[in-house]
Structure 1
């Protein structure tokens, strides 16, 4: 079962519920967040809340996607209250590329990346009621950095690279009492600057301050233990790079519960009404295979278990060598 948000030609918004191949509008619903808050208030699941509204008109989601009318499957009316975050070195195999990027001159010494990865392998899946190893964590921005499916990922002029990261994202709303509620999962492109990160691993924070996209559909319920999809870079209508990506706990060194704990343990991230989109990491990058993307390329992340594919073209802002001037009051 899937939820999505779309817009019509007159600018009005709607929420669609898809079961199997058929998608129908949810009567009276214009935002997934509002639907989720109503479900919390009623003490029922998001799926039950959507179904309780009855069946609206049928809608062609593939057509809406082709026409650029799909919105992010979860957003916030005030973008400052949507948080984009993520965790890295969480997937089996994800350390290899990172270790090469962050390698030290002394080959006999474990890099900090490998130390972090080992911590996850040894303690990332604790028993019930226990707290496991703390993962790498990063901030990508707020809702102003969240890009709708089909819209361009606009790389800043100072960026040294513009690379995709095919991931699964968890989508959350914070309830009135500060409880985080997971609505479900979506395909995500955790777009990053890998050349900047490779220059010095302490620049990871800079490399992650880029736009990101997720959707188009929100998969309700649990994440399958094994997820396998395909990531592509398309140039002039043809794929110049294509590779499978894996996710799900069977392919991860951390449990979802452990990653969620280490994000939501901060009171800052449990503010009632806020929306969180958290990227769980990947082990697959075109950058690792020597691909240098350029404006006009299109990223495609696809997995049948998550509905419609996520596609975003790449653009780049003009370079401005002048420093940002700060005015003094």
Structure 2
């Protein structure tokens, strides 16, 4: 089952359940509202949706074409929505990173390779134990979340603007501080790879960029093997295309281990907060020498996730003067 949030032609926000067709979920103004009701009733999100029955049919593809498809889940207060992620989590993901951070001595293992090896050796602990902690990064709050079809805006300080096709886990913190996974969505964990390449300690800077996810939320477990295509279109033509894979069969960590190392921090278990956590990728156009340009469109598609995720690239004017701080 998939859930999407759309705006009707009359301007009302509704939740659509997508199966053989798309139908409005009666009495639901948001996925967060549905999730909160499910938690209160002691049942899963799918059961809560089923209990509402089916409303009128909606055309999701038309809504997408008309720019009426919203993020599949959002928070009424964007400051209580957290965008985060983990890197070096996929088999093969270390090759590009290692080349970016290679040291003069080829026999000396880079920190990236050390981190990747830690995941290979300890990212999938037996019997549900605690495994090696992954690389972790912060992207921003809900103000950095771009809806499907909306621009990904590269800031004026950026040196690069590149896509990262990923799967994102969506979580709501319950009233007692327990994280509840609502489902999974396609994600574009947009990053600045030139800044990151300059010094691996600039990874934090390179990740402070907007991100997009959706347009549909997959409710239920993530398949062990997820396969899709990542594309860049320029003037309507595909200039780069490559398959990408995800799911635990293609990862060096279990999802449970990645989730543990995020939610082990109490600050991320505040009741009512929403979390969008990107699980990483091994496929980047940057690794193939592609320099994205304003006006390019990123397209990430996985048949098992419904409609593709598309976002155009917009570049803010380059930063030419420092930000000034006023003293009070």
| TM class, shorter-length | over 0.9
What's the offset of the Cα at 1:215? Answer: 0.2
The residue matched to 2:35 in structure 1 has which SS?
helix
The residue matched to 1:110 in structure 2 has which SS?
coil
**Deviations 1:67-95 (CA, angstroms, capped at 9, x unpaired):** 11100011000000000000000000000
Q: Which runs of 5+ in 2 are unaligned?
A: none
Count of aligned pairs? 328
Query: TM-score, structure 2 length as denominator?
Result: 0.99
Residues in 2 aligned to 1:12 and 1:145: alpha-carbon distance in whole angstroms: 23
**Which residue of structure 2 lines up, in the alignment, with residue 4 of structure 1?**
4
**Which residue of structure 1 lines up, in the alignment, with residue 319 of structure 2?**
320
Q: Which runs of 5+ in 1 are unaligned?
A: none
The residue matched to 1:128 in structure 2 has which SS?
helix
What's the offset of the Cα at 1:128? Answer: 2.2
**Which residue of structure 2 lines up, in the alignment, with residue 222 of structure 1?**
221
* Larger displacement relative to structure 2 (127-136 or 75-84): 127-136
What's the offset of the Cα at 1:25? Answer: 0.2
What's the offset of the Cα at 1:185? Answer: 0.4
**Matching of residue 69 in structure 1 with residue 64 in structure 2:** no
What's the offset of the Cα at 1:320? Answer: 2.6
Considering only aligned residues, what root-mean-square deviation do their CA atoms show, in Å? 0.6
Matched ranges for 1:169-208 at <5 A = 169-208=168-207
What's the offset of the Cα at 1:10? Answer: 3.0
**Matching of residue 37 in structure 1 with residue 75 in structure 2:** no
Residues in 2 aligned to 1:196 and 1:97: alpha-carbon distance in whole angstroms: 14
**Deviations 1:189-220 (CA, angstroms, capped at 9, x unpaired):** 00000000000000000000000000000001
What's the offset of the Cα at 1:158? Answer: 1.3
The residue matched to 2:132 in structure 1 has which SS?
coil
**Which residue of structure 2 lines up, in the alignment, with residue 257 of structure 1?**
256
Matched ranges for 1:112-261 at <5 A = 112-261=111-260
Query: TM-score, structure 1 length as denominator?
Result: 0.99
**Matching of residue 294 in structure 1 with residue 293 in structure 2:** yes
Question: After TM superposition, where is structure 1 displaced by more than 3 Å over at least 4 residues in a row?
Answer: none
What's the offset of the Cα at 1:222? Answer: 0.4
**Deviations 1:131-168 (CA, angstroms, capped at 9, x unpaired):** 00000000000000000000000000111000000000
**Which residue of structure 2 lines up, in the alignment, with residue 283 of structure 1?**
282
Residues in 2 aligned to 1:320 and 1:243: alpha-carbon distance in whole angstroms: 32
Residues in 2 aligned to 1:39 and 1:249: alpha-carbon distance in whole angstroms: 27
**Deviations 1:36-78 (CA, angstroms, capped at 9, x unpaired):** 0100000111011011111100011011111111000110000
Residues in 2 aligned to 1:201 and 1:172: alpha-carbon distance in whole angstroms: 29
Residues in 1 aligned to 2:270 and 2:10: alpha-carbon distance in whole angstroms: 33
